[in-house]
């Protein structure tokens, strides 16, 4: 999919389910999620805002994303009230057949090596978007951390 078409195709309201693993292979939470994708600055950028819960506590977050036409890579900047509540995480990566695959890094403590966070966005159909994030250890081992399955919210007529 052409990157600009992918970003445009995400615009609008979405809802679905978000599953979170805090340890490899051990599901810690499954909650409803509501998201909104809005085009910004002549559709060159996209804002993804979302609301959900994690272990019965509210969770809110935002991502800003674009396709860098010079580097030919997607760029995403992310923060939220649970995972990234102390810093911004910047990720970048390549287009895929259904969306994008980006990698960023985050701090786990002073003097400790950063961990990676790989996120795969796949527009499965015009009505379904999956966002799967993987924790990546300093040794390169991946474990699924978050899986969001969105369904497009039908526009109200009236």
- Residue 112, pLDDT score: 96
- Residue 134, pLDDT score: 98
- Stated pTM of the model: 0.93
What would the pLDDT profile of 97-139 be if each residue is shown by its tens digit?
999 999 999 999 999 999 999 999 999 999 999 999 999 999 9
Q: Contact at 8 Å (CB) between 1 and 101? A: no
What would the pLDDT profile of 64-107 be if each residue is shown by its tens digit?
999 999 999 999 999 998 877 788 999 999 999 999 999 999 99
What's the whole-number average pLDDT of the chain?
95
Domains and CATH numbers, the chain: 3-152 (2.40.128.20)
Alpha-carbon separation of residue 64 from 3, 47, 61, 77, 89 (angstroms):
15, 5, 10, 5, 11
Q: Which of 6, 51, 13, 55 is nearest to 33 (CA)?
A: 51
């Amino acid at each position: 999919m052409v990157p600009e078409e992918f970003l445009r195709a995400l615009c609008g309201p979405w809802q679905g389910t978000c599953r979170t693993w805090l340890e490899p292979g051990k599901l810690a939470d499954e909650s409803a999620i509501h998201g909104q994708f809005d085009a910004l600055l002549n559709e060159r950028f996209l804002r993804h805002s979302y609301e959900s819960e994690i272990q019965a506590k509210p969770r809110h977050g935002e991502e800003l994303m674009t396709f860098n036409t010079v580097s030919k890579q997607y760029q995403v900047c992310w923060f939220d009230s649970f995972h990234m509540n102390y810093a911004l995480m910047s990720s970048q990566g390549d287009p895929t057949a259904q969306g994008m695959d980006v990698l960023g890094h985050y701090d786990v403590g002073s003097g400790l090596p950063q961990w990676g966070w790989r996120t795969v966005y796949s527009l499965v159909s015009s009505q379904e978007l999956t966002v799967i994030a993987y924790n990546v250890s300093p040794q390169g081992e991946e474990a699924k951390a978050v899986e969001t399955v969105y369904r497009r919210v039908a526009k109200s007529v009236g």
